[in-house]
Homo-oligomer: A and B are copies of this chain.
């Protein structure tokens, strides 16, 4: 018995630890890339661009065209219902 438990189904600690570390490694990379993106936005701001608008642009390019149309349609329906058109 390796570590004080007598249940054969006990957890393989080393194996588990390896998975946890691999997850933490990729999450570290993700965090780095997120900071890199933040710096790009700061750089754009220094260059005189509005970061908020750039975010919208990126989001628009991401967004599926059909989906966008559908959302706009629903929005217009609601606006009409409220007399805000």
Copies of chain A in the complex: 4
Contact surface of A with B, Cβ cutoff 8 Å = 3-5, 7, 9-13, 15-17, 19-20, 22-24, 26-27, 29-30, 33-34, 36-37, 40-41, 43-44, 47, 49-50, 52-54, 56-61, 63-64, 66-67, 70-71, 73-75, 77-84
Chain A interface mostly: helix
Q: What is the bound-complex CA distance between A78 and B49, given in angstroms?
A: 9
**Cβ of A9: which chain B residues have Cβ within 8 Å of it?**
82-83
Once the chains bind, are A13 and B77 in contact (CB under 8 Å)? no
Q: Which chain B residue lies CB-closest to A60?
A: B70
Once the chains bind, are A59 and B70 in contact (CB under 8 Å)? yes
